[in-house]
Chain A
Amino acid sequence: MGDLFLGIWVVAYRELLRFVQERTRMLSSFAMPLLFLVIFGAGFNRLIGALTPGVDFIQFMYPGIIAMTVLTNSIMSGLSVVWDREFGFLKEILVAPLSRTGIVLGKAVGSATISVGQGIIMLVLAPLLSVSLSPMLVLKLIPMLIILSVSLSGLGVLIASRMRSQQSFQIIVQIIIFPLIFLSGVFFPVNNVPAWLEFISKINPLSYGVDAIRQIFLNGEIAAAGMGQGYPLGVTVFGHTMTIVQDMLLVAVLGIVVLSLAAWSFSRQE
């Protein structure tokens, strides 16, 4: 047990240390979400107008962008594993008297800490977009960001556990991760799209993370709102509209599964 916590803390510590040394990474991690927010926001806002009374497109998209910031940065935990393997440092970690599960959790915790921090920094934009923030909202948001980022970091580490080069990891990110992010309801409600797209979006676990964050921001009213127009802005599965807690549980279960798989994969590492 001691080895486990030592592993988590040492690996997470180094992850954070690395992050503060790399200033460019700090900046670049905000670049894409901001770009989407500005371009799509400015481009579509007037065209689309209010999705439901009181919720315009930017207010709908902004929580999604926060989720996206957390998602992309969490997945990048995998890149740090591949990086360590390529540059040899992983060997120093693997040969130290640390538990393999601890190493995996340490990577996830380190990366999640960074992601949550970035998600919170994104909140400074809220007043500019006339999204109202309250201390209560932030308090509710943080646990969800933590669950989401730990789970997704676990996914990143799982993917990276057997990868040898940064290039192959980047390819996986481009063909699997980006589509998952785009199809998670960041940019459009997943209930009002062609059936095939709706199907993919609803089996995509990220959709539920995005939904939870959006419901926290819009006070839960959007889940059922819009019913009158034929579709709700939340995620409905078999006619049931997901609540924040159900979303959270679903993402947490995903996290436990991928982290267990990653720990198993690492313990068999040679």
Chain B
Amino acid sequence: MSTIDVRGLSRNFGGLKAVDEISFQVNEGEIFGFLGPNGAGKTTTINMLCTLLKPTSGSATVNGYDVVRQRSQVRRGIGLVFQDPTLDEYLSAEQNLRFHAYAYKIPRESQEKRISELLELVDLADRRKSKVHVFSGGMKRRLEIARGLLHNPRVLFLDEPTLGLDPQTRRHIWDYVLSLRQQSNLTILMTTHYMDEAENCDRISIIDRGRLIALDTPDKLKDAVGGDVVTLKAENNEKALLELKEKYQLSPVLENGNITFSIPQGEKFLPRLIGTFQTPLLSIGVRRPTLDDVFLRLTGRAVREEEGGLKEMMKTMMKMHQGRGR
């Protein structure tokens, strides 16, 4: 039985179909990624799976429990890290964890050990007594991950766990996530719009405008683009273009003075090409396709990262504004 089983799940907000009939299964111990631009429906899906939002139609189970009819059982078995912080900033790191321990009925005798273990795991053991409002964004996120794991959930939901964090902290958080998977049989469902992060997932579902448009391992998704991407520049691009078409039966495109085409197993093709190509070359390179190429091919649009940055910035500014004068 799948740990997460989603069938025909939909959610409307007024006339808008935020999530439109999506279905997928996640197996135990898997890192399952939701990739898509902002507003694609990733967070709405997570909110339905963690019982915060009722589906308009369709059904879903987590750990075998229905997310509408067995909400308490679902909640007990999941850990959550939301996009926006959900810590009590005026309490200390330990007090935040303590609250969580009480709410999830962690036996008193094991609370102390568990809290110490997790603070150790996220490198916050020395900040145990500090109030959360003095923490940096990365520290808050790490504390939230510790809290999400405190009650030994079988499934961890991570909604954009690294949004708005610096690259070093992002790397750090990924190290935790990957080491967690090795240590336990934790199932992780996460959303991201960072392509490089999605590469860490076992399987990725690409979601766009509420619909699930692709679901596979990162490698297979990239293979679907049609192999590796070769980029070259010749002394005479027109002549090179013609030669590629006639001699090698490729379909190259000329773009910004560079010729690009895709070919399976590009590393093996490159020496053959260089050995036999007549037109003098200025440069040539081969790269694996990225998930950007996948998304571009499937939707005709690129996933833009700066949207997230801007949105995050505005949210922070609004909070700062509201927080003033208290």
Contact = CB atoms under 8 A, between A and B. Distances in A.
27 contacts: A3-B72, A6-B105, A13-B102, A14-B91, A17-B91, A18-B91, A21-B90, A21-B91, A86-B322, A87-B88, A87-B89, A88-B84, A88-B87, A89-B87, A91-B52, A91-B82, A91-B86, A94-B52, A95-B51, A95-B52, A96-B75, A96-B103, A97-B72, A97-B103, A97-B105, A270-B52, A270-B53
A89 B103 contact: no
Interface string B62-105: 00000000001001100010101111111100010001101111
B17 interface: no
B54 interface: yes
Given A17-B91, A95-B52, A166 B322 contact: yes
Contacts of A93: 103
Contact residues on B (Cβ < 8 Å of other chain), bracket:
20 to 34
A88 B82 contact: yes
Given A95-B50, A95-B51, A14 B99 contact: yes
Interface string A148-189: 000000000000000001110000000000000000000000
Contact of B100 (A6, A86, A87, A96): A96
Contacts of B76: 97
Given A89-B88, A95-B80, A270-B52, A17 B95 contact: yes
Contacts of A92: 86-88, 99-100, 147
Nearest to A270: B53
A6 B91 contact: no
Contacts of B86: 88-92
Nearest to B73: A97
Interface string A47-74: 0000000000000000000000000000
Contact of A165 (B91, B147, B322): B322
Contacts of B87: 88-89, 92
Interface of B: 50-54, 72, 75-76, 80, 82, 84-91, 95, 99-100, 102-105, 147, 319, 322, 326
Contacts of A94: 52
B148 to A, nearest CB: 10
4 shortest A-B CB distances, which residue pairs?
A: A88-B86, A96-B103, A97-B75, A92-B86
Interface of A: 3, 6, 9-10, 13-14, 17-18, 21-22, 84, 86-98, 165-167, 270
A17 B91 CA distance: 8
A270 B84 contact: no
Contacts, number: 71
Question: Which of A84, A87, A167, A270 is packed against the most chain B CB atoms within 10 Å?
Answer: A87
Contacts of A96: 75, 100, 103-104
Contact of B90 (A22, A95, A97, A270): A22
A61 to B, nearest CB: 31
Contacts of A87: 85, 88-89, 319
Contacts of A84: 88
A91 B144 CA distance: 12
B172 to A, nearest CB: 22
Nearest to B99: A14
Nearest to A9: B102
Nearest to A269: B52
Nearest to A97: B75
A91 B319 CA distance: 17
A18 to B, nearest CB: 6
A62 B84 CA distance: 46
Contact of B88 (A3, A14, A166): A14
B4 to A, nearest CB: 16
B137 to A, nearest CB: 13
A165 B325 CA distance: 14
B88 A18 contact: yes
Nearest to A98: B103
B103 A6 contact: yes
Contacts of A17: 91, 95
A58 to B, nearest CB: 34
B196 to A, nearest CB: 27
Contacts of A89: 86-88
Contacts of B99: 10, 13-14, 92
B241 to A, nearest CB: 55
